[in-house]
Amino acid sequence: MSKFLVSAAAALLLSACSSTHTVSVQTGAAGTLIEAKQVAALVYAQAPDSEIDKLLYSGGDLTRAIKRLRDRYPQLKPWLDQGVIGNTSSGFVALREPARREQVRELLRAENRDRALLHNRASEAVGHGGESLDIWLPYASHSFGKEWITQGQAGWWWLNEQRQWVQK
């Protein structure tokens, strides 16, 4: 009889907790892909700080780097539109027209510095810092590279893995 009472009490307690809770578990790979897609979209859309703060992985250096990328995008866009620079499959921007190097040198340097920081911090955020960072970085860089290219505008150039320029 006491086992029956304990079981009945447990059933009543469980039924009282009938609210539904959803738990989302992300692997490092899925988290990196989601972050890359969201970051590229927010930067290209010139999203407000409040949207950037809602990212799956945000805070500290990561958020500051994303905001600098977003703030710099209006300076970068005309050069992308003209084909002077382009995105790379490895997640960076590269010079496509060497004759214009001096005009964009500092802009590219600042952009690539923040993209490198983004790749590093995003890797750490999904649990691949420390000893596994060097192994994970190529995956993170290429995940971000794919999104910069995919979400980029038609007519923009991108550098593929064979080091060939391709126009979108």
**What sign does the dihedral 110-116-122-125 (CA atoms) show?**
negative
Of 108-117, 130-139, 146-155, the poorest mean pLDDT is in 130-139
7 within a domain of the structure (yes/no): no
121 within a domain of the structure (yes/no): yes
> Residue 144 — pLDDT band, cuts 50, 70, 90?
very high
Of 3-7, 83-87, 127-131, the poorest mean pLDDT is in 3-7
- Give the separation between CA 140 and CA 16, rounded to whole angstroms: 44
The residue type of 161 is: E
96 within a domain of the structure (yes/no): yes
- Give the separation between CA 60 and CA 17, rounded to whole angstroms: 37
Nearest-5° angle of CA 145, CA 148, CA 149? 85
Domain count for the chain: 1
18 within a domain of the structure (yes/no): no
Residue 87 phi, psi dihedral angles, 5° rounding: -80, 160
106 within a domain of the structure (yes/no): yes
Burial of 78 (0-12, 13-18, 19+ CB in 10 A): exposed
Quick one: average pLDDT of 62-90?
97
- Give the separation between CA 33 and CA 54, rounded to whole angstroms: 16
13 within a domain of the structure (yes/no): no
Whole domain around residue 70: which residue ranges? 26-167
Quick one: average pLDDT of 136-148?
95
Q: Chain-wide mean pLDDT for the chain?
A: 86
31 within a domain of the structure (yes/no): yes
pLDDT at 44 over 60: yes
- Residue 127: per-residue pLDDT: 86
Nearest residue to 88 (alpha-carbon basis) of 30, 39, 31, 143: 143
- Residue 87: per-residue pLDDT: 98
On whether the pTM is more than 0.85, the answer is no
- Residue 22: per-residue pLDDT: 43
pLDDT at 17 over 80: no
84 within a domain of the structure (yes/no): yes
- Residue 96: per-residue pLDDT: 98
pLDDT at 99 over 60: yes
